[in-house]
């Protein structure tokens, strides 16, 4: 494999000049465009690859960032990964993704493994992870850690979340504004922090309007299958409702399919609203009315905050602040006015 020395010998330029150009250093701006072109062409022809190991030793950094996610196949996680990765790649970092496969027991081990790999920082998509049960003592003071989707009770760990309670309030207020008073609520029983907050928001909107939920039904798994089963069981009970407020889009998809299979129309017979605004929500039939989370901003903010913290170098102090973003209503065809 060719080295900087080989390229210097071939082009006739000094080792310093070649190194500045190939490593894109600030001092390289004083080097002419013609010289840069010659060096880059020689590097391409000689199949030059930078020695990342040597670079890491010089900088005392691994240039790797750990990303801990509860399920890479989850439609919530996929766009987040994309928006987290983009700013990091631009700064020369590589991501090591640890997928827990929805197994909370793997959380501590995965975090320890990333630390053992000497990553420079960690981002954790923690919506469904028991982060409060994880020993963070090895992380705090060693490498910066950012949480997405869960609030951190440790002041030195910034979190980036959506205001779930406001989102739930938006759901409830919207259905009420459409004239619905018999509303079914499909959720996981509050097992996750975010779901409890969403329910609190819905309940607040309904309480202010003097309305009680027609029925509350559990769909334990974060899946369309769980939503389908929950709604199928509810329909067998012959409960009366004109709208369904689902804790998330995945459960809403299952709810709609169960209503269709039971011979009911959405939204003519029953309106359905979700939460998340997953990419498929705008293509589902009918297109899903939902509360949108700004996943692009969540991912970018967490990545930029991590870069800032890593640049500062002292992880014992808090260089960045937590952020709570406001969700927004996206009205589509799955709801109607009574």
Q: Give me the residues paired with residue 244 across strands.
A: 184, 272
Q: Which two tokens stand for residue 283?
A: 């293509």
CA–CA separation, 108 and 105 (whole Å): 7
4: confidence class by pLDDT, cuts 50, 70, 90: confident
Q: What percent of the chain stands above pLDDT 90?
A: 54
The chain-wide mean pLDDT, for the chain, equals: 88
| pLDDT, tens only, 43-60 | 888 887 766 555 554 556
- Phi, psi values for residue 59, rounded to 5°: -85, -10
Query: Cis ω on the peptide bond leading into residue 313 (within 30° of 0)?
Result: no
Query: Is 4-50 a domain of CATH 1.10.3470?
Result: no
- Give dist(CA 96, CA 69) in Å, integer: 11
Is the pLDDT reported for residue 330 higher than 60?
yes
Lowest pLDDT segment from 66-80, 92-106, 130-144, 172-186: 130-144
| 227/94: higher pLDDT | 227
Q: Which residue has the higher pLDDT, 98 or 54?
A: 98
Burial-class residue 135 by CB neighbours within 10 Å (0-12, 13-18, 19+).
exposed
| 172 has a pLDDT exceeding 50 | yes
Confidence of residue 141 (pLDDT cuts 50, 70, 90): low
Per-residue model confidence as pLDDT tens digits over 286-310: 999 999 999 999 999 999 999 998 8
Fold of 164-293: Rossmann fold (3.40.50)
SS3 string, the chain, reads CCCHHHHHHHHCCCHHHHHHHHCCCHHHHHCCHHHHHHHHHHHHHCCCCCCHHHHHHHHCCCCEEEEEECCCCCCCHHHHHHHHHHHHHHCCCEEEEEECCCCHHHHHHHHHHHHHCCCCEEEEECCCCCHHHCCCCCCCCCCCEEEECCCCCCCCCCEEEECHHHHHHHHHHHHHHCCCCCEEEEECCCCCHHHHHHHHHHHHHHHHCCCCCCEEEECCCCCHHHHHHHHHHHHHCCCCCCEEEECCHHHHHHHHHHHHHCCCCCCCCCEEECCECCHHHHCCCCCCEEEECCHHHHHHHHHHHHHHHHHHCCCCCCCCCCEEECCEEECCCCCCCC
Phi and psi based region of residue 263 (left: phi greater than 0; alpha: psi -120 to 50; beta: remaining): left
Return d(Cα 280, Cα 251) in angstroms, integer.
13
Give the pLDDT mean for 146-157. 84
What is the structure's pLDDT at 311?
82
Q: pLDDT band at 127, cuts 50/70/90?
A: confident
Is the pLDDT confidence value at 171 over 90?
Answer: yes
- In this structure, CATH architecture of domain 61-162+295-326: 3-Layer(aba) Sandwich (3.40)
User: Matching CATH topology for 61-162+295-326 and 164-293?
Assistant: yes
pLDDT at 30: 85
Q: 16 or 246: which carries more pLDDT confidence? A: 246
What tokens were used for 120? 């420079």
Q: Judge contact between 102 and 128, C-beta under 8 A.
A: yes
User: What are the residue boundaries of the structural domains of the chain, listed by start?
Assistant: 4-50, 61-162+295-326, 164-293
What does the radius of gyration of the chain's CA atoms come to, in whole angstroms? 25
Question: How does pLDDT run across 257-276, given as a tens digit for each residue?
Answer: 999 999 999 999 999 999 99
pLDDT band, very low/low/confident/very high, at 23 (cuts 50, 70, 90): confident
Give the integer Cα–Cα distance in Å for 255 and 235: 10
The Cα–Cα gap between 208 and 188 comes to 24
How far is it, in rounded angstroms, from Cα 23 to Cα 27? 10
Preceding omega of 286 cis (within 30 degrees of 0): yes
In Å, what is the CA distance from 51 to each residue of 4, 23, 78, 335?
10, 11, 31, 57
Reported as a single tens digit per residue, the pLDDT across 271-288 is 999 999 999 999 999 999
Supply the pLDDT for residue 316. 47
The two three-digit tokens of residue 238, written as one number = 């012959």
Are the beta carbons of 120 and 56 closer than 8 angstroms?
Answer: no
pLDDT at position 137: 63
**CB-CB contact of 162 with 327 (8 Å):** yes
For the entire predicted model, the pTM comes to 0.80
């Amino acid at each position: 494999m060719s080295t900087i020395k080989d390229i210097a010998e071939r082009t006739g330029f000094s080792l310093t000049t070649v190194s500045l150009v190939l490593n894109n250093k600030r001092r390289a701006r004083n080097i002419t465009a013609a010289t840069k072109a010659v060096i880059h062409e020689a590097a391409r022809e000689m199949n030059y690859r930078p020695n990342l190991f040597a670079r890491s030793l010089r900088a005392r950094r691994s240039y790797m960032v750990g990303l801990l996610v509860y399920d890479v196949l989850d439609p919530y996680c996929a766009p987040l990964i994309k928006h987290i990765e983009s700013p990091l790649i631009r700064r020369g970092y590589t991501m090591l993704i640890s997928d827990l496969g929805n197994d909370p027991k793997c959380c501590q081990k995965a975090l320890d493994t990333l630390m053992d790999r000497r990553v420079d920082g960690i981002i954790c998509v923690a919506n469904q992870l028991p982060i409060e049960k994880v020993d963070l003592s090895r992380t705090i003071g060693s490498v910066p850690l950012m949480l997405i989707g869960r609030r951190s009770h440790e002041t030195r760990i910034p979190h980036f979340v959506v205001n779930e309670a406001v989102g739930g309030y938006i759901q409830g207020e919207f259905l009420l504004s459409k004239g619905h008073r018999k509303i079914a609520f499909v959720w996981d029983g509050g097992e996750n922090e975010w779901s409890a907050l969403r329910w609190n928001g819905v309940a607040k909107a309904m309480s202010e309007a003097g309305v009680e939920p027609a029925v509350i039904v559990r769909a334990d798994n974060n899946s369309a299958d769980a939503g389908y089963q929950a709604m199928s069981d509810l329909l067998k009970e012959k409960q009366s409702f004109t709208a369904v407020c689902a804790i998330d889009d995945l459960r809403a998809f299952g709810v709609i399919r169960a209503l269709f299979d039971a011979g009911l129309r959405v939204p003519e017979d029953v309106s359905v609203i979700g939460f998340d605004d997953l990419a498929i929500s705008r293509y589902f039939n009918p297109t899903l009315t939902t509360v949108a989370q700004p996943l692009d901003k969540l991912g970018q903010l967490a990545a930029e905050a991590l870069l800032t913290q890593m640049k500062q170098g002292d992880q014992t102090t808090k260089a960045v602040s937590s952020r709570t973003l406001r969700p927004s209503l996206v009205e589509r065809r799955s709801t109607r006015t009574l």
